[in-house]
Each structure stands twice: as C-alpha cells, then as structure tokens.
C-alpha cells in the first residue's frame, strides 16, 4: 500500500453512502428548525413587548431598549439556537433524538426567558389608587 492509499472497510462505505443521501435532507431540516425557532420566538416576545412598541398614551412609555435591543436579541437567539443545537445533536444522535433535543433546548430557553424578562406592561385602570 502506498502512502496515498488507505484501506476501506465495508462499514466505512455504508456510512459514507448514508451521509451522501442524508446530507441535504438534514441540512434542510436545520433551515426549517431555524425558521420555526424565529417564528416561535416572535410569537412569544412580540405580544409581551407590544406596550413597549407603542408606548401607551401619546407614546410616553415607549421603551427603546426593549424595542431596539431586547426583542431583536430574542429573535436572533430563536433563529440561531435551534439550528446550532440541531447541528451539534445530529452528529451524535439519530435525527428524531436530535429533534427532541432541539425542542427541549428551545423550550428551556423560552422558559428561562419567561422567568427573567419582564418588559413594561399596560397599566390597568383598576390597579391604581381609588379616585
């Protein structure tokens, strides 16, 4: 055997063949997971931050930090975390197990976000002192 040649085992050929056929499919799953992640993050964050966008009466309480920093970072995390988790998990696990790991990581991320992120909310008229 020369230096450029290498011995190939039958199981090596099967793994390479499987990777060739599953590669584009697994890559497209990562893109779909990214899209689903950003849509779920938007569905979670935008309604909670709605008061920060319009600012209530005459825009007095517009919260620019929430509008320009927090919500875009949440959307970026929703776009980036699920496909990165998919890429890491699909290397070691079967695709269905990697999808479960992605779902669990994203769910834990939203749960943690819900625990710590509290944007300004519309004050309810009944919450103040009596007239």
**pLDDT tens, position by position, 67-78:** 888 899 999 999
* Region 85-112 average pLDDT: 91
Cα 66 to its chain centre, rounded Å, is 19
pLDDT at residue 113 tops 70: yes
User: What is the spatial distance between Cα 108 and Cα 7, in angstroms, rounded to a whole number?
Assistant: 45
pTM metric for this prediction: 0.70
pLDDT at residue 119 tops 70: yes
User: What is the spatial distance between Cα 120 and Cα 51, in angstroms, rounded to a whole number?
Assistant: 7
pLDDT at 72: 93
Q: Indicate the DSSP class of residue 68.
A: I
pLDDT at 2: 53
For all residues of the chain together, what is the average pLDDT? 78
Closest C-alpha among 82, 45, 95 to residue 66: 45
Residues in the chain: 131
pLDDT at 126: 57
Distances (CA, A) of 7 to 4, 27, 53: 10, 29, 63
Cα 57 to its chain centre, rounded Å, is 33
Stronger pLDDT, 21 or 115, i.e. the higher one: 115
pLDDT at residue 102 tops 70: yes
pLDDT at 18: 47
């Amino acid at each position: 055997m020369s230096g450029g040649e290498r011995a190939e085992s039958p199981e090596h050929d099967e793994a390479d063949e499987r990777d060739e056929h599953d590669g584009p499919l697994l890559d497209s799953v990562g893109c779909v997971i990214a899209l689903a992640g950003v849509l779920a993050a938007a569905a979670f964050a935008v309604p909670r931050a709605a008061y920060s966008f319009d600012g209530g009466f005459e825009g007095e309480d517009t919260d620019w930090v929430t509008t320009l920093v927090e919500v875009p970072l949440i959307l970026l995390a929703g776009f980036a975390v699920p496909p990165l988790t998919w890429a890491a998990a699909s290397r070691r696990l079967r695709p269905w197990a990697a999808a479960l790991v992605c779902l669990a990581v994203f769910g834990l991320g939203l749960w943690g976000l819900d625990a710590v992120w509290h944007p300004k909310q519309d004050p309810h008229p009944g919450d103040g002192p009596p007239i």
